[in-house]
Amino acid sequence: MIKIGILIDKYHLENKVTEFLEYIKSKAEITIYIEESYLFNSSKFDFDEDLFFTKAKGELILAFIKLIEEESSIPIINSYKGTWLAINRFLNSVFLKKAGIPLAEFSLNPKGSDPPFRDFIIKNIIDQKNYKFKPIVNKVNGRLNVADERALNEVDKTDPKYNYLYYQKFIKSKWEYKIYGIGEEVFFYKQLPILVNPNKTESRKKIDDIPELKEYCYKAMEVMDLKLTSLDFLKSKDQFYLTDINCTPNFNYIKDGHKIVANYLLKQAKQ
């Protein structure tokens, strides 16, 4: 029987994977490694899984992924490289821009130093903890400034502490486009931007494929070494701009998403 190890934290285990686990446990032997439970017995380094699935992005999870990659040849979805790049906004912005994917302009600036664009949004540099976006919106001399409360806390000496802020040019868009990549499959949705409607799922609806965004999704997955991801795009005039990439997408928003992901993992484990 196929053996799959799931690297996960308590939040995702309790809130995001109930249907997924029920389905995949009927198809494979599952071992769950919970971050808050220290994952595993430190004396056991002989892994016999056919594949690992990462559904968390904490420090212990990252260390465990790296250990598995160094001590075995077992495939991991998503890899250490993919997970680390996805949670580091500045690094993934550099990688994705270099790959030719259109990004909203960005910069890394000390607190109090304005970025080189008029309207902006401030985001946390390392997007690691499970957290709901809490925007603080201000207009200063006609400039629109939006800040994530968490990012401001981090630069104000609340752990983790950074000396810089990640600034992203604010893109005014009627819709936010949410694109999910699961292996070779791509799923397309749109919703009202969070500043228009904080309940982001209330307006979410499935849309037809957009070839341009599909191409960007495949390119991002290749560059970032991600097999599962979600990407957020905004559209200004006729140009799409990538604003976020995620390595632990909530696939429950996709119809039968838990089965699609589970079947993809089973297929990869068999290979």
With H, G, I as helix, E, B as strand and everything else as coil, classify residue 190. strand
How many domains are contained in the chain? 3
Q: Indicate if 188 and 96 belong to the same structural domain.
A: yes
Give residues with Cβ within 8 angstroms of 172, minimum separation 6: 119, 234, 236
181 and 149, same domain (yes or no):
no
Q: Say if residue 182 is in the same domain as residue 236.
A: yes
Checking if the pLDDT of 160 tops 70, the result is no
- Residues 129 and 220 grouped into a single domain: no
Task: Answer yes or no: is pLDDT of 181 > 70.
Answer: yes
DSSP state of 105: -
Report the CATH number that the domain containing residue 180 is assigned in CATH.
Answer: 3.30.470.20
The number of beta carbons lying within 10 Å of the beta carbon of residue 83 is 25
> Does the pLDDT of residue 119 top 90, yes or no?
yes
Mean pLDDT on 52-56: 97
- Mean pLDDT confidence for 16-28: 97
Whole-number pLDDT of residue 164? 87
The predicted structure's pLDDT at residue 169: 97
pLDDT band of residue 41 (cuts 50, 70, 90) is low
208 and 95 within one domain: yes
- Reduce the DSSP state of residue 253 to 3 states and report it: helix
User: In the structure, what pLDDT confidence band is assigned to residue 39 with cuts at 50, 70 and 90?
Assistant: low
Q: Identify the CATH number of the domain in which residue 22 sits.
A: 3.40.50.11950
Tell me the two tokens of residue 126. Answer: 């390392």
- Nearest residue to 264 via CA among 243, 242, 245, 249: 249
Lowest mean pLDDT among 49-53, 129-133, 140-144, 266-270: 129-133
**Residues of 224-246 as b/e, b for ≥16 C-beta within 10 angstroms?**
bbbbbbbbbbbbeeeebbbbbbb
Residue 62 to residues 8, 57, 59, Cα–Cα distance (Å) = 11, 6, 5
Distance of CA 204 to the CA centre of its chain: 18
Decide if 162 is inside a domain: yes
210 and 188 Cβ atoms separated by less than 8 Å = yes
Q: Tens digits of per-residue pLDDT, 75-106?
A: 999 999 999 999 999 999 999 999 999 999 99
Q: What pLDDT does residue 152 have?
A: 85
- Segments forming the whole domain that contains residue 204: 88-102+172-246
Cβ neighbour number for residue 166 with a 10 Å cutoff: 25
pLDDT per residue over 253-263, tens digit each? 999 999 999 99
Residues 159 and 62 in one domain: no
Same domain, 181 and 225: yes
Here the contacts of 65-73 (C-beta below 8 Å, separation 24 or greater) are 65/7, 71/45, 71/47, 72/47
Q: How much is the pTM? A: 0.94
The pair of three-digit structure tokens given for residue 142, joined into one six-digit string = 């006609």
Tell whether the model's pLDDT for residue 157 goes beyond 80: no
Per residue in 194-248, pLDDT (tens digit) is 888 888 789 999 999 999 999 999 999 999 999 999 999 999 999 999 999 999 9
Query: Do 155 and 261 lie in a common domain?
Result: no
Residue 181 and residue 141 share a domain: no
Alpha-carbon span 227 to 82, nearest angstrom? 9
Three-state SS annotation for 51-100: EEEEECCCHHHHHHHHHHHHHCCCCEECCHHHHHHHHEHHHHHHHHHHCC
Residue with tokens 């104000």, as numbered in its chain: 156
pLDDT, position 44: 60
